[in-house]
Each structure stands twice: as C-alpha cells, then as structure tokens.
Structure 1
Amino acid sequence: MNKNSLKNIELYPLYQRIVRLTDPATDFAYEATIRGRRANGKDLPPSVLFQQPEQKQMLLDYIARHIAVREAVSFVKNSLLFLNGHALSLQAGFIFEDVTKLEVPINQLVLEITEQTRIHSVESLKRELDTLRAQGMKLALDDFGTGFSNFWLVEALQPDYIKLDRSVIARVDQSDQARRVIEGMVAFADKVKTTLIAEGIEREAQRDILIELGVPYGQGFFLGLPFALSKTMAHMPKKLRGKP
C-alpha cells in the first residue's frame, strides 16, 4: 500500500459489547475497531490497512478514533466507549482534535494502549495521557499477558482497566494452570486497584469460570459478535488528510 493510498480507502467502525459477566444483558461498554474498504468494495484486513509508513499510521489511528466516536452516538448512551490508541500517536499528542467537540463526552471514553507496541518514552506518553485523564478520560492497558513489559507499564500508567489477552483466557476451562494464572491476575488487579476485562470469551464454560474466579467484565464471541452500523461508511475527512 503506497503512501497516498489512504485517500482511496473507505473507513468504517466495528463495535463489540463489553459486559458485566454476572449481568450480560446490560451493556457496560463497547470496544470500537476500524476497518477499511477499497473503492471496488473489497475489504482490507487490519494487517494490510495499518501497514503504513509511520506518519500515515499515526494519521489513520487518529482518524479512526474520531470516526468511532462520531458513529457511536446513536447507541452508546450511558455506556463507556473503548478506543484503540497507537503509542506513536499518543506520545506525539496526536489523540483528539478538540475534546470539547467530541460527540461522546470524554468521561465516557476509555483509551486503550496496546501492550504489543514498544513505547519509546513513557514520560511523554504519561504526560499526554494525564492531560486527558484530568478531563475525565479513562485508560485501559490492552493485550495484557503478551508483549514487552506488562507489569512495568501497569506501574507507570496506572490504568483504570486491564484487558486480559485472549491467549490467557483460551484454556481457562481446560487447564488448572490457566485457572491459577487468572487467580493471580485477579489478586494483582486488586492490589493495584484496577479492573479486569477478559477478552476472547468464546464458551459458556469460560465465562462461568471467570465469574467464579472474580473477573468482573468480559467480551468475546460468546457474549456478542462485532457489529457495524448500517450507515457508518465514511471517507476520510478532507480537512484531516494533511495531518499530522
């Protein structure tokens, strides 16, 4: 994908429910992810969509957040909205154009920092995040259990939520060792005063064991498939194409 190809990509968000495991009928939150479609109607997998030079990757990350917020207005109501944030964008302060003009109040937004991306400067990242958190935004550490420096990032960023990676959840109903790992995570979360969300719940047995172990929230195919809204297709706003 060349550096100009973003202009020809149609972006649209997908949303997936995050629920309280003991009360799955009530929506606690939604996670937004972005997808792309070529002019010929062919969908692009995320691995291709985000295969961009650094500056374009930051631009795509930035625009994806604004599209996801705008399109969620019709259903998010009093729920939280989880948004992905690339560490490069966040360290550069390239997060939102103007938080006072966001269609969803900032105190309903949760910014997810993926733990699979190396963070060049925790100090600059924390400085940018603290500004938004002071205005009411919450923070989640995504993909916990994979990546580079899990526990150090928890100490540095003090996230409101920790999302347990699906690889941690996959065998919880099949392995005593996996259960012990989750038990340890629950105790850890209690110590550092954060809230756990289990990702990738695909079976009823997984959900039941997670409830038993004390994990309060979860998402996954068993609890709800990702969905798109019928009229959410949106070309990149022209005024944003020149950024950053």
Structure 2
Amino acid sequence: MNGNLWNGIELFPLYQRIVRLTQSSTDFAYEATIRGKAASGKYLLPSVLFRQAQGKQMLLDYKARHIAIREAASFIKDSLLFLNCHALSLQAGFIFEDVTKLELPIQQLVLEITEQTRIDNVESLKQELTALRELGMKVALDDFGAGFSNFWLVEALEPDYIKLDRSITANVDLSDQARRVIEGMVAFADKVKIQLIAEGIERETQRDILLELGVTYGQGFFLGHPFALPKTQQL
C-alpha cells in the first residue's frame, strides 16, 4: 500500500459477540476489529491496512482502538470490549492517549495481544501491562496455538483470558485428537486460573463438545457474525 492510499480511507470497526457457552443468548463481551474503505469503494481488510512501515502500523493500531471504543459506547452496556493490540504498540507504550477521556471505563476493556507477531522484548510488555492493569484493564492472549505461540508467554504475561485459535477448535467435533488437545488446554487453564475463549465456532456440534470439555466462553459465526455500526471515521 502506498502513502497516497491513506488519504480519504474510511475506517470503521466490526464487532463480534463473545458469549458464555452456558448462556449463549447473553453477551459477555464483544471483540472489535478494524476495516477500511478506500475512496474507490474498495473494502480493505486488516491484512492490507497493516501492510505498512512499523510507525504507520502503530498509528493505525492506536486509531483503531480509539474508534472502536468510541462507537461501542452506544451499545456495549455492561459487557467487556476486546481490543486488538500490536506488540510494537504495547512495547512503545502507544496504547491510549488519556484513559480518563475514553468513552468507556477502562475496567470494561480487554487488550488482546496477538501471538502471530513475534515478541522480542517481554519485559517492556510486562511493564506496560502492569501499569494498565493497575487502572483496571484486563489482558487476553489472542490466536493461541498459531504463529509464535509459546506456553512461556502465558507465564510471562499472566493473561486473564486465552483465546484458542480457530485452527484448534475447527475439528473438535470431528477428531478425537482435537478433543484431547482441548482437554489438555482446559486442564492447563484451570491450573493457572485463566479463562478460555474458543474462537471459530461455526457449528452447534462444536459448541456442544467445547461446553462438554469445560471451555467457558466462545466466539464464532454460529454464535454471531461480525457487524458494523453506521458511523465511520476518516484516517
């Protein structure tokens, strides 16, 4: 993506429900992801939007969180809002300008750290997370089981939630091996006192087996498709 394409891009968030599997009609939380619309009318996925130099990635990451919070304030009520965070932004302390001016209380925010980005300086992440946690924010480790996932990262960052990558949950209703992997993750999460969220639930049978295996929360098309709100924001 060249620099000119940034001019006039319309940014808007999509929101997807995260539910407690025993109470799937009630919203526990929403995850926000960013999308863009170019002046040509073409829609831009995050994989395209973030195809930038590191500085621009961090700026987009920062803007996306603030747009998602502002627009979610109209419907989120008492639910939590999960916000994606690039590891570079966290290491640089480039998360929020002023938490006292956010449209939602920081206690309702959960920062998702993706494992698909290599984390080179864990100590700086821990320092930033400690400061945000002291204000009441929670932390989730996203895409667990894909990319650069490591159990040592769970120990280092002590997340409140682990989001199991869809590659782990995809065959849980079709494969005994997949079931055993989930069983092991449930036992691990219980031992370290972390809540599991299974991503990519697309079938009722997946939901039922995950519930049977002891997974508390879920997200996926079967539970609710991503949706957009009318408002947009110019980049």
The TM tier, using the shorter chain, reads over 0.9
Partner of 1:165: 165
Percentage of identical aligned residues: 78
Please list every run of at least 4 consecutive aligned residues from structure 1 whose deviation after the TM superposition is greater than 6 angstroms.
none
Partner of 2:26: 26
Say whether residues 1:233 and 2:232 are aligned partners: yes
Query: 1:3–1:56: 8 Å Cα contact kept in structure 2?
Result: no
Cα distance in structure 2, aligned partners of 1:203 and 1:149: 26
- Tell me the SS of whatever aligns to 1:190: helix
Consecutive unaligned residues in structure 1, runs of 5 or more: 237-244
Query: 1:3–1:53: 8 Å Cα contact kept in structure 2?
Result: no
Partner of 1:184: 184
Say whether residues 1:110 and 2:110 are aligned partners: yes
Shift in Å, 1:4: 4.5
Consecutive unaligned residues in structure 2, runs of 5 or more: none
Cα distance in structure 2, aligned partners of 1:5 and 1:95: 24
Cα distance in structure 2, aligned partners of 1:27 and 1:159: 21
Partner of 1:215: 215
Query: 1:111–1:139: 8 Å Cα contact kept in structure 2?
Result: yes
Query: How many residues are treated as equivalent by the alignment?
Result: 235
Opposite residue 50 of structure 2, the aligned amino acid is F
Shift in Å, 1:120: 1.6
Query: 1:186–1:214: 8 Å Cα contact kept in structure 2?
Result: yes
1:23-78 deviation digits (Å, cap 9, x = unpaired) = 10100000000000001221112221110111000000000000000000011000
1:163-197 deviation digits (Å, cap 9, x = unpaired) = 00000000000001100000000000011110000
Partner of 2:76: 76
Query: 2:5–2:38: 8 Å Cα contact kept in structure 1?
Result: no
1:79-123 deviation digits (Å, cap 9, x = unpaired) = 000000000011000000100000010000000000111112000
Opposite residue 235 of structure 1, the aligned amino acid is Q
Query: 2:13–2:35: 8 Å Cα contact kept in structure 1?
Result: yes
Shift in Å, 1:148: 1.9
Cα distance in structure 2, aligned partners of 1:176 and 1:139: 31
Partner of 2:90: 90
Cα distance in structure 2, aligned partners of 1:178 and 1:94: 38
Partner of 2:138: 138
Opposite residue 229 of structure 2, the aligned amino acid is L
